[in-house]
Amino acid sequence: MNQINCPAILISAPASGQGKTLSTAALARAWKNCGLNVRAFKCGPDFLDPMVLETATGQPVYNLDLGMCGEHDGLVRLYQAAQTADVIIVEGVMGLYDGTPSSADIALRYSLPVMLTIDASGMAQTFGALASGLLGYQPALIPAGVLANKVGSTGHADMLKDSLPAHLNWLGALPQDEAYALPERHLGLFRAQEITDLDARIEAAALALAASSALPLPPMVTFIAPETASISPKLFAGKTIAIARDAAFCFIYPANIDCLQEMGATVTFFSPLHDKTLPEADAYWLPGGYPELHLKEINENTAMRNALLAAFNADKPILAECGGMMALSESINGVPAYGLLAGKSHIEPRLQGLGTQHAELKENIGSIGAHTFHYGKFDTALLPKCQANSRYGAGENIYQHGSITATFLHFYFSSNPALAARLFSYAKP
């Protein structure tokens, strides 16, 4: 049995908003500054936190999620990363035990030691009790230590450190400093590319963390080579898939691009906001993002509207996910959009969809994992082709309008490559 050992750690917290992304990025950069090859992962189907971690490490960041991605997918990606990494760092999602499956479930499945990051502002000796209780709640977890965030002073840090029981390691402190803050909006953190001084913020946080700790490596984890899955057939051999990628269309799992390429596709990119033409391709993909923040560019780019319409009239398969679907509708928040789908989109003040779902698409080739997280709403007379399923019942609608497949779902292609290939194919009735 092939196996490899590599230091690894999962960073979690008592709740959301404790500073997990900043702590993970700072620790990853601090280890990178020591000359280590750091590979980072993100628990859950998040798009935004991985962008920050990619800036911190300089390497692509993949997702670990037992629901959407599947257990085997995580085994493959961790084993692959361990081949070249000096240390693997995984950012959790929400609080340690929140969600089904939770960060704790992921830590247990992959034998990842757990480090807690705790917002220590307004806290003293309770810090140690909180850390001890969280890590002791599930005795099978491997405690790796605790990091304090938003610490007020050196004396405050010493007080927090002294509160820890002997079996929990002190992994450092991040001072309370706006220079480290990561700005947020309705879907989470700003895109990494929007934070113009992001690298400087991460570097400053890494230096502060290094000043408070010796930065010990986490325990070794043994990663075992997973059973070889069947190789994806070259369903896209000789085919080109063009992917929208810019400030409005940016929610793309790196694993999805890998999956398309493994099926033989040549992948190219274009900007619906700024380009006037579409690249020559056999299929097009408009992923989610923030079209509602770029309505002027969408509305005024009539050349792109005409190019998308021409591709649709030529029966080119078009996959439109979440923001991509909204952009293809008649309007977003009353502003005319690309107009290929009958219906109007708008942003609601409250969350409209959240969670892992699976879709069968009535193709009799299994289901594909997906995730939904949106404030958008699509009012349309189009009848759905089918509905995805969630553990709470019926999930998001999936529409088929000519060669367009449109939904609020974000699909994870590797969970079912054969079905993913169907999303980029169309046979005219």
Which residues are within 8 A (CB) of 11 and not within 5 positions of it... i.e. 6 or more apart? 20, 23, 24, 27, 89, 90, 91, 92, 114, 115, 116, 117, 147
CB count, 10 Å around CB of 154? 12
Q: Give the lowest-confidence range in 126-135, 190-199, 254-263, 381-390.
A: 190-199
Distances (CA, A) of 158 to 112, 124, 125, 343: 27, 10, 10, 59
In a 3-state reduction of DSSP, which class is residue 277?
Answer: coil
The answer to whether the 3-224 and 240-423 domains have the same CATH topology is yes
CATH number of 240-423: 3.40.50.880
Residue 147 φ/ψ, nearest 5 degrees:
-120, 135
CB 422 within 8 A of CB 370: no
Residues 6+ apart with CB under 8 A from 257: 243, 267
pLDDT 10s digits, 67-80: 999 999 999 999 99
The most confident of 168-172, 279-283, 350-354, by mean pLDDT: 279-283
Give the closest residue to 109 by CA, choosing from 77, 140, 146, 69.
140
Each residue of 279-292: b (16+ CB within 10 Å) or e? eebbbbbbbbbbbb
88 burial level (CB within 10 Å; 0-12, 13-18, 19+): buried
The predicted model gives 164-177 an average pLDDT of 92
pLDDT of 14-34, one tens digit each? 999 999 999 999 999 999 999
pTM of the model: 0.94
Class of domain 3-224: alpha beta
Amino acid (one-letter) located at 253: Y
For the chain, domain boundaries: 3-224, 240-423
Q: Can you tell me the distance from the alpha carbon of 75 to that of 109, in angstroms, rounded to the nearest whole number?
A: 9
Smallest Cα–Cα separation from 289: which of 188, 399, 387, 390? 188
Q: pLDDT tens for residues 233-284?
A: 799 999 999 999 999 999 999 999 999 999 999 999 999 999 999 999 999 9
Q: What is the mean pLDDT of residues 400-418?
A: 96
Could you give the residue numbers annotated as active site?
A: 322
